[in-house]
Amino acid sequence: MLYLLDELGCYMDYKAAAGRLIDDHTDDIILVSKHIHSEPELGHQEVKASRLLVEELKKYGFEVKLGGRRDDHRVHRPEGVGDT
């Protein structure tokens, strides 16, 4: 199992927490996936897909900051999301 210290100094099983979140939101994940696949974009030019993912993450309280380069994006986990 993968245990890491979170920002509060508590150990957390991230693999198990991620699995629970995926199980709890499977229908939403599938809808987002189908939407992205219904409007294909060129590689490294996924503007619509990026916007959709940002909107979805913000709905769940994530703070998303998009950088100018494709590898300069930040997603911050809101307090309580994924806590065990």
Q: Give 33-58 pLDDT, tens digit per residue.
A: 999 999 999 987 888 998 899 899 88
Residue 51 half-sphere exposure toward CB, CA atoms < 13 A: 6
> How many other C-beta atoms are found inside a 10 Å radius of the C-beta of residue 72?
9
pLDDT score at 26: 95
pLDDT score at 16: 79
